[in-house]
Amino acid sequence: MRVVLAEDLFLLRDGLIRLLEAYDFEIAAAVDNGPELTRALLTVKPDVAVVDVRLPPTFTDEGLQAALHARREVPGLPVLVLSQHVEQLYARELLADGSGGVGYLLKDRVFDADQFVDAVRRVAAGGTAMDPQVISQLLARKSRDEPLGDLTPREREVLGLMAEGRSNVAIAQRLVVTERAIAKHTSNIFLKLDLPPSDDDNRRVLAVLAYLNGS
């Protein structure tokens, strides 16, 4: 699986290269700034991009903007963003096109190699991988007055795990219930969020987007 990696800190970039190669990923390009990331994404068109949000020259959101630009040129390009802090706007921007294959992890997650590599693979496969801390903060700001308040506590719990990118099987294992029970909760979530079946849209991603937007 070919990866484009963008990280400005040499030691972290080198560590990520070694880690990903140890798990049989091919590093197609490793860059340390926004302009080079844009060029790499558009020329290499990797199976997945792992991108630091803040890159030179301004250290604001060059990584995110390069990823968003590349996804407009190459629809559905899988992108996993790494950030030092929880910034909900970045997560919403990534999910806005509803095409899947996106993730948002805090850099601390990199130090759990298995968890990090699992997230990279899920994003490359078209899924989502949202950091549990992002989900936790979003849960904390919800109120019963919001449309998502129609969901039961269990459905909100399932949606939170769905936002992390977990499959129905994985959610069932986490909550110690049957996969059939999770499938029922998932169907209820789609129904309450007015997400009918569609060949064009990924309902799990749209549900996560609604969750992040609180609408």
Domain 146-213: assigned CATH number: 1.10.10.10
Q: Which part of the chain is CATH 1.10.10.10? A: 146-213
* Rounded Cα distance, 215 and 74, in Å: 28
Looking at residue 142, its amino acid is K
Position 140 pLDDT exceeds 70? no
pLDDT confidence of 183, banded at 50, 70, 90?
very high
Residue 147: its pLDDT value, please? 60
Tell me: pLDDT of 116 over 50: yes
Distance CA 30, CA 8 (A): 10
If we measure between CA atoms, which residue out of 77, 65, 80 comes closest to residue 20? 80
Residue 213: pLDDT above 80?
A: no
Q: Please give the model's pTM, rounded to 2 decimal places.
A: 0.76
Residue spans in the chain of domains classed CATH 3.40.50.2300: 2-130
Per-residue pLDDT tens over the stretch 12-64: 999 999 999 999 999 999 999 999 999 999 999 999 999 999 999 888 888 98
Q: What's the mean pLDDT in 80-105?
A: 77
Architecture of domain 2-130: 3-Layer(aba) Sandwich (3.40)
**pLDDT for the residue 47:** 96
Question: pLDDT at residue 215 above 60?
Answer: no
d(CA 214, CA 149): 9
- Give pLDDT, residue 145: 47
